Chain A
Amino acid sequence: MKSRIVFVIVMLALLAGCAKPTPEAGPEAPRVLRVMVYDSFSVSEDVIARFEAENNATVQFLKAGDTGKMLNQAILSHDNPQADVLYGIDNTFLSRALNADIFKPYKAQNLTAIPVALHLDPDYRVVPTDFGDVCLNYDKAYFDEHALPVPQSLVDLTKPEYKGLLVVENPASSSPGLAFLIATIGVFGEDSDAEYSYLDFWADLRANDVLVVDGWDTAYYNEFSGGAYSEGVRPLVVSYATSPAAEVYFSEGALTEPPTGAVTAPGTCFRQIEFAGILKGTENRDLAEAFIEFLLSADFQADIPLQMWVFPANPNVTLPQVFVEFALEAAQPAEVPAAAIEANREQWIEAWGDAVLR
């Protein structure tokens, strides 16, 4: 009996150990700024520490799932927001965020350093922070061995020599998958009366034995053959233009050249631009504004590449060596307006499913 009581007490003590420690309130206690981010967001500790010191603030990050999950949480709780700032809405979700009216406009001073091509909201409700290109990646060894030229356009993928070589992500469940679908819409158009629409392209891809899987990690690690740790047999995958650089960096010196390459030819990629904005209902407006300026500052911008493997929006910051050598930018990414993406997303994905899966 006694041991049972001890057991219960230990359990309760452990439970109590989980309880939140109360922050000590000093005379000049730093203010807390809450920032909502997606799961793969990352930043250097010292960069944030500098912001905190300069503004007498404590930054609390709230990871809220992938971009879609994060945005929907922000929309659902707009009356009583979980955070002051939201980071990481991309152009495929931008319209939904703007329509839901969750942001407070703020015209950041540091915005002048950002190329105009990245400004997608003329009303300054969000600011562009970074961008990354979703592009085809290929297994260098396979194409060398088979003396096969690397495809240089999307149409190339429907040729017989590339039959059974490509794996893509399902646009219904994957962000790069959706980006690639949008790229095909940008290139071929969605008009089903046209001579060759995106659905015709996908029907041809299907005939050419394209493999569709759930998400990027399954595609890259389980189906693609090119990565240093890839289990699969298909030498072409939809990934990011920076993936080859990541291969070198995370090989810890084992590789001096990436085992993979990215196809960045015109009309083969889609550019994901990411945005941050101040959430309506914040009680720390000035601090949130300072944070937006900080996100666009050289200090934070230079930290982006190695933390998140995308390009900083500010073209003037120094890129790390591995980016300079191995990370590519798409030459002319396919273009589809954000409003069209939001308006047609479901219908595109449905039609795509009918063409490719059923």
Chain B
Amino acid sequence: MPDNTDHESRKVVRHSLLTTRHLLLVLPLLFLVLFYFYPLGAIFRVSLTWDGGPALDALLRRLFGSTTLRTLGFTLGQALLSTLLTLLLGLPGAYVVARYDFPGKRLLNALTTVPFVLPTVVVATAFTAVLGPKSPLNTVLMNALNLAHPPLDLRYTLGAILLAHVFYNYTLVLRIVGSFWANLDPHLEQAARTLGASPWRAFVEVTLPLLLPALGAASLLVFIFCFTSFGVILILGGPRFATLEVAIYRQAIDMGNFPLAAGLSFVQILCTLGLTVVYTRLQGRLARPLDLRPRWVTQRKPRTASEIAFVLANVVLGAALLGLPLVTLAARSFDAGLRYYTALFENPRGSIFYVPPVAAVGNSVKFALGTMTLALLLGMLTATALYRRKQGWILDALFMLPLGTSAVTLGLGYLLAMARPPLALRGTPALIVFGHTLVALPFVVRNVMPALQSIRPSLREAAATLGAPPARVFAEVDLPIVWRALAVGGVFAFTVSMGEFGATSMIARPELPTIPIAIYRFLSQAGALNYGQALAMSTLLMAVCVTGFVAIESLRPPGSEW
């Protein structure tokens, strides 16, 4: 009875895997409870019992008043538009990254992630230089058409917000979809083509359905990012636009209206939860096991003229969209030769807050590596525990919440909850790593989950039947296949930490300043040298990140050719 014994052994394997999965979840859940729900509960409790706050009915009237509804409508609308636009521009890029191999690809890949770490103030400067009234394009147009005023000024419009969101999030689509796509078997699409399908039909009916898990993951992340957008809205959108995040900040910080801020935060969290639950419910149905192929099978050099043109077009689009502002920034940091860089090393006024650039870089990198390690560990545990569970979608959605929660709310929650035992962590460097990890974790989970779900269960079962213990099955079957996804998740975790300023400015330690903190310090005073040093520090931030990305992606387990 060969069938029966096979069935039995499968059952045993399944059962032992399931128990292990429960255990795997203990650590991530504990982390989520201690560093998300506990501080959130603390700030909500204090806010809602705040002395001198408005009466409940007055609060509810404002919370569901026309201003809030208008803000909510705009927040959702701009996030939707931004996500669609990012997908539209990012998908061809992801295709190119997935299918073609060309010189400089790795560096280009790394460069697309740089915007992610740049403070909005600095990006605004770059956008002004590229799109503003004094931009080269405007100068050309003014001369050519003999105009008295610059004809193009995108700033302080919805267009500027959308463009900035694409600038920041392009890399999410490129990397998440690109790395998943790279392991899809191109023969499927080729088979459809052989059977007479047009390239468009072959893409829509064969490739697109297979890509859906990665597309969904990328879209969700982009949407949540734009949904909680703060700096871009304030600085590039201007005062006519406000998202929920902006409204929460204003109520909590400028007006000191903690109850209303808490109410708005709650609305924001509910929206994130609703959206994420829809996604995680769908995710299980979208995902299907695939015959994945290593990259050396799926990628080749562009050969025909049209292929080369397509690759080039995408590189040029990426360069114009992302490269131009970045290069402008870097170029301007050399406006005074190396003076802005040498000035970083001087402290002529003997300020006690002088930040030696080496120390800032060191602190930033230490926090980022710590965040990456913790996020990868917890993310891998979470994804492994959840990817095949029927009820996994509820927990999966919970792990996404920190990303869609107002930074100022969470920051104030940390302030309250981490002040006394059992978690007297206020002012410790560890708390910064924990705070960053909370936001970085969703990136790892969203990257790893589709990869894990795409592995055929029969592969694991075969290994298990041959006598491999679960840990060995994981190391020999899962890990080589999800390594790429882990690397991409790691890059984003690293990046989230490098660029984070909002939430941690409340829990940061002044003796451990990071690069973003140094940049803000320079930008708060008038004078060419301050501005130049901010640009120099930003360029340094970009350089450190690119180095970090390339290094992270070069690390891979021996024998893994995926």
Q: Is the pair A18, B256 in contact by a Cβ cutoff of 8 Å?
A: no
**Given A64-B506, A69-B505, A345-B254, 11 new contacts (CB under 8 A):** A3-B558, A18-B366, A40-B525, A62-B427, A76-B412, A82-B419, A217-B523, A220-B526, A229-B528, A233-B150, A306-B349
Chain B residues whose CB sits within 8 angstroms of the CB of A72 once the complex forms: 252-253, 256, 412
Interface status of B65 (Cβ within 8 A of chain A) = no
List A residues at the B interface (Cβ < 8 Å): 1, 3-4, 7-8, 11-12, 14-15, 17-20, 39-46, 48, 60-66, 68-69, 71-73, 75-77, 80, 82, 96, 99, 170, 172-173, 211-218, 220-222, 227-229, 231-233, 239-240, 243, 246-247, 249-252, 254, 306-307, 309, 345-346, 349, 353, 357-358
Once A170-B239, A172-B254 are accepted as A-B contacts, the answer to whether A215 and B234 lie under 8 Å apart by CB is yes
Chain B residues whose CB sits within 8 angstroms of the CB of A306 once the complex forms: 349
Interface status of B278 (Cβ within 8 A of chain A) = no
Q: List 9 A-B contacts (CB under 8 A).
A: A14-B370, A39-B524, A64-B505, A65-B253, A82-B427, A221-B523, A251-B527, A345-B255, A358-B240
| Closest-CB distance, B557 to chain A (whole angstroms) | 6
From the candidates B129, B240, B352, B521, name the one contacting A44 in the complex (CB within 8 A). B352
Report how far A22 CA is from B527 CA in the complex, Å.
40
Chain A residues whose CB sits within 8 angstroms of the CB of B374 once the complex forms: 15
Q: Is the pair A246, B351 in contact by a Cβ cutoff of 8 Å?
A: no
Chain B residues whose CB sits within 8 angstroms of the CB of A249 once the complex forms: 527
Once A233-B133, A251-B528 are accepted as A-B contacts, the answer to whether A80 and B240 lie under 8 Å apart by CB is no
| Closest-CB distance, B440 to chain A (whole angstroms) | 14
Query: Which chain B residues (115-130) contact chain A, with CB distance < 8 Å?
Result: 121, 124-125, 128-129
Q: Is the pair A232, B506 in contact by a Cβ cutoff of 8 Å?
A: no
- The 5 A-B residue pairs whose C-beta atoms are closest, nearest first, are A250-B527, A228-B528, A250-B529, A246-B526, A11-B373
Interface status of B259 (Cβ within 8 A of chain A) = no
Q: Is the pair B256, A75 in contact by a Cβ cutoff of 8 Å?
A: yes
| Closest-CB distance, A9 to chain B (whole angstroms) | 11
Q: Is the pair A62, B510 in contact by a Cβ cutoff of 8 Å?
A: yes
Interface status of B156 (Cβ within 8 A of chain A) = yes
Chain B residues whose CB sits within 8 angstroms of the CB of A96 once the complex forms: 256
Q: Is the pair A218, B526 in contact by a Cβ cutoff of 8 Å?
A: no
Q: Is the pair A357, B528 in contact by a Cβ cutoff of 8 Å?
A: no
Q: Is the pair B433, A73 in contact by a Cβ cutoff of 8 Å?
A: no
Interface status of B31 (Cβ within 8 A of chain A) = no
Interface status of B484 (Cβ within 8 A of chain A) = no
Q: Is the pair B429, A20 in contact by a Cβ cutoff of 8 Å?
A: yes
Q: Is the pair B366, A247 in contact by a Cβ cutoff of 8 Å?
A: no
Report how far A69 CA is from B505 CA in the complex, Å.
10
Chain B residues whose CB sits within 8 angstroms of the CB of A99 once the complex forms: 52
From the candidates B150, B238, B428, B528, name the one contacting A213 in the complex (CB within 8 A). B238
Q: Is the pair A76, B415 in contact by a Cβ cutoff of 8 Å?
A: yes
From the candidates B46, B252, B353, name the one contacting A42 in the complex (CB within 8 A). B353
| Closest-CB distance, A168 to chain B (whole angstroms) | 10
Chain B residues whose CB sits within 8 angstroms of the CB of A254 once the complex forms: 528
Q: Is the pair A251, B510 in contact by a Cβ cutoff of 8 Å?
A: no
Once A20-B429, A250-B525 are accepted as A-B contacts, the answer to whether A232 and B133 lie under 8 Å apart by CB is yes
From the candidates B254, B353, B419, B524, name the one contacting A61 in the complex (CB within 8 A). B353
From the candidates B258, B352, B520, B530, name the one contacting A39 in the complex (CB within 8 A). B520
Q: Is the pair B234, A212 in contact by a Cβ cutoff of 8 Å?
A: no
Report how far A42 CA is from B348 CA in the complex, Å.
13
Chain A residues whose CB sits within 8 angstroms of the CB of B412 once the complex forms: 72-73, 76
Identify the closest chain B residue to A168 (Cβ): B239
Interface status of B350 (Cβ within 8 A of chain A) = yes
| Closest-CB distance, A90 to chain B (whole angstroms) | 13
From the candidates B52, B240, B419, B426, name the one contacting A357 in the complex (CB within 8 A). B240
| Closest-CB distance, A287 to chain B (whole angstroms) | 18
Report how far A86 CA is from B125 CA in the complex, Å.
33
Report how far A301 CA is from B558 CA in the complex, Å.
62
Q: Interface 1/0s, chain B 318-348, versus A by CB < 8 A?
A: 0000000000000000000001000000000
